[in-house]
């Protein structure tokens, strides 16, 4: 473990940021405990939708400042993003609920149901907290578990009046709805943004894992936030496999892979002050476990005190990926959409499924947005019955933004164009742009398997339906009794479309997949199956450390079993699954000992 560089000369405000599952909450909680036990008065604020701060400390916290038992000087508060978003929606919709037709109210509600609404509503709560001196003046340090994204900050810095812009009918659907009615809060936002960008008052702690995908995402986040003036940034590489495990072939291979990723750090990350924190053999739940996260000398005592150490049996119903492909093949040609948050292995799962279907003699089209084109190069002409079309997301998004700016933007003034340009940088807009490319190949799934790596969320699908009104226009034009199928209907048809949610056996990725499942349900889409990727529980382990670590997966695996009707599980592999041989191994039946059920 390296020196805790990120704690040196710590300013008053500290923001922990990073993609889901990298350990932001654990690190924020551990840091809060360490500072409080060193004599500081600390307030820990969570705005993470996947927050489990209360669970970590074993106390109910919620949206009120709560003293943490056993840690004098430490208080915590959880800002519930969903609750904030619900209140924000109600403030906008309730005044007009009785004045507008039900269809318009439904459209407004959907417009205010995406990730942008949640982020902006959470930022509203965050700004109010920063502005409340009476509430925070006694604290030497205020730690935030999850910083606002660069997109949210840019939205709140835009010129002009959002409400009048929307009222004039100039707005689009992805992010302008969430900012409606917020002009009155500009003063509070300006003060909050000034705090964020002042290095004397604020530090950004960028949390990542020693994995190439996680490091790329960290570099992207850093670029966004540095552009906005957040210059005091520190890198924390969390969950690095400790030394001394070389006798376990799997552990040795993973350690080599991690070191290779760290040796190739993006230049912007390599230039940051860096702290390295080793992976623990147990979950960081409880104050002793949090202390051990920042003090390795305490690890052995915590491990002895826990019951984690014996790898759990898999819940009933878990199978290997081959069994999932068996069911897909039996049902015949369909659209297979692999979905999930970044870094969970969607591209790998999509490629493995497509390869196995083609090797069974089915005609398959694999459409991927993977920016690393090695899958296309590896699979392209070498596999009979399999064709690959790689979509370039950056080009699709750039082309889409250019078209919208040239059409809608041509009628706007400079302030209006600035608002529209930022709106077109939203994640929802990105999904719309890429899905327009996807839609050109979707119709082919009537006669062959089409496997999509990455697909739009339920919220985006509903926005696509609302903005183009395509589905409703088709319905309106058809005579009574006529047969028709719109794209949305095809996606809702469980025989024609198979949605596969990909996740990891960890708390945050599973919660994110659960939220995605709820999101899809609003669009009338039910996932066909879940895939749990890179599981230690499903791997062959000899190291006591890894066996203890596998035991920590049990709660997440049980939750997946509750949420999914079908679950395939893939073990953590010694080598990256790149190339036809490695990908084919993913759809081989797992050894019987790897799938022991409770």
| Active site positions, annotated | 21, 23-26, 48, 508
Quote the CA–CA distance of 589 and 525 in Å, as a whole number: 29
Beta partners for residue 367, in sequence order: 389, 452
Spatial CA neighbour of 420 closest among 229, 159, 150 = 159
Contact assessment for residue 1 and residue 296, using Cβ atoms and an 8 Å cutoff: yes
Quote the CA–CA distance of 537 and 553 in Å, as a whole number: 7
Contact assessment for residue 76 and residue 52, using Cβ atoms and an 8 Å cutoff: no
Give me the numbers of helices (H) and strands (E) for the chain, helices first please. Answer: 27, 16
Sign of CA dihedral 331, 332, 335, 339: positive
In this structure, what token pair is assigned to residue 538?
């499903």
164 C-beta neighbours (distance < 10 Å), count: 10
Quote the CA–CA distance of 376 and 100 in Å, as a whole number: 50
Beta partners for residue 277, in sequence order: 238
DSSP percent split of the chain into helix, strand, coil, nearest 5:
50, 15, 35
Full strand arrangement of the beta sheet holding 141-145: 66-67, 74-78, 42-46, 141-145, 13-17, 202-208, 233-240, 274-278
| Torsion (CA) 496, 110, 440, 424 in degrees, nearest 10 | -150
Q: Which helix (H) or strand (E) holds 319?
A: strand 318-319
Quote the CA–CA distance of 113 and 92 in Å, as a whole number: 12
Sign of CA dihedral 487, 491, 496, 501: positive
Helices 458-468 and 507-522, packing angle to 10 deg: 30
Spatial CA neighbour of 86 closest among 57, 106, 109 = 109
Quote the CA–CA distance of 172 and 16 in Å, as a whole number: 31
**Residue 157 CB burial class (10 angstroms; 0-12, 13-18, ≥19):** middle
- DSSP H helical ranges for 132-161: 133-136, 150-156
In this structure, what token pair is assigned to residue 580?
């036809």
Contact assessment for residue 276 and residue 571, using Cβ atoms and an 8 Å cutoff: no
């Amino acid at each position: 473990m390296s020196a805790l560089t990120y704690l040196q000369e710590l300013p008053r405000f500290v923001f922990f940021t990073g993609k889901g599952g990298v350990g932001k909450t654990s690190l924020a909680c551990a840091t809060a405990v360490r500072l409080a036990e060193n004599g500081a008065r600390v307030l820990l604020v969570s705005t993470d939708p996947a927050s489990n701060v209360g669970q970590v400390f074993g106390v109910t916290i919620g949206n009120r400042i709560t003293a943490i038992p056993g840690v004098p000087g430490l208080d915590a508060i959880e800002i519930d993003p969903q609750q904030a978003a619900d209140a924000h929606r109600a403030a906008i919709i309730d005044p007009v609920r009785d004045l507008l037709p039900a269809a318009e109210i439904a459209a407004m509600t959907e417009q205010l149901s995406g990730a942008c609404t949640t982020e902006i509503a959470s930022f509203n709560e965050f700004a109010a907290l920063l502005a409340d001196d009476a509430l925070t003046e006694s604290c030497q340090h205020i730690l935030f578990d999850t910083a606002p994204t660069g997109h949210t900050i840019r939205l709140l810095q835009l010129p002009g009046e959002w409400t009048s812009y929307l009222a004039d009918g100039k707005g689009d659907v992805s992010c302008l709805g969430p900012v409606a009615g917020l002009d009155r809060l500009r003063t509070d936002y300006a003060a909050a943004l000034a705090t964020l960008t002042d290095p004397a008052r604020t530090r950004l702690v960028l949390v990542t894992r020693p994995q190439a995908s996680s490091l790329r995402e960290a570099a992207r986040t850093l670029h966004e936030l540095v552009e906005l003036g957040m210059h005091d940034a520190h890198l924390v590489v969390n969950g690095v496999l400790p030394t001394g495990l070389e006798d376990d072939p799997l552990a040795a291979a993973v350690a080599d892979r991690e070191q290779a990723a760290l040796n190739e750090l993006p230049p912007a990350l390599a230039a940051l002050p860096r702290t390295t924190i080793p992976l623990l053999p147990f979950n960081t739940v409880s104050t002793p476990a949090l202390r051990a996260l920042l003090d390795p000398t305490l690890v052995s005592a915590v491990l002895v005190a826990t019951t984690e150490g014996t790898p759990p049996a898999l819940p009933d119903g878990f199978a290997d990926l081959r069994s999932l492909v068996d069911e897909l093949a039996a049902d015949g040609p369909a659209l297979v959409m692999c979905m999930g948050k970044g870094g969970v292995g969607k591209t790998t799962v999509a490629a493995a499924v497509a390869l196995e279907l083609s090797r069974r003699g089915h005609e398959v089209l694999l459409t991927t947005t993977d920016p690393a084109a090695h899958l296309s190069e590896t699979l392209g002409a070498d596999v009979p019955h399999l064709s690959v079309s790689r979509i370039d997301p950056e080009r699709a998004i750039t082309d889409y933004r250019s078209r919208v700016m040239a059409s809608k933007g041509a009628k706007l003034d400079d302030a209006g164009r600035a608002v529209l340009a930022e709106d077109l940088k939203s994640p929802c807009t990105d999904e719309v742009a890429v899905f327009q490319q996807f839609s050109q190949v979707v119709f082919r799934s009537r006669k062959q398997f089409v496997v999509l790596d990455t697909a739009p969320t339920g919220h985006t699908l509903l926005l696509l339906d609302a903005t183009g009104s395509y589905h409703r226009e088709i319905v309106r034009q058809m005579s009574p009794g006529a047969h028709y199928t719109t794209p949305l209907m095809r996606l809702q048809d469980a025989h024609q479309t198979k949605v596969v949610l990909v996740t990891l056996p960890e708390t945050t990725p599973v919660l994110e997949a659960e939220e995605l499942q709820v999101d899809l349900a609003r669009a009338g889409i039910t996932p066909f199956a879940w895939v749990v990727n890179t599981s230690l529980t499903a791997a062959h382990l000899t190291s006591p450390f890894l066996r203890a670590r596998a035991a920590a997966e049990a709660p997440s695996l049980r939750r997946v079993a509750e949420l999914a009707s079908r679950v395939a599980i893939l073990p953590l592999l010694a080598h990256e699954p790149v190339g036809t041989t490695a990908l084919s191994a993913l759809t081989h039946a797992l050894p019987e000992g790897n799938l022991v059920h409770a």
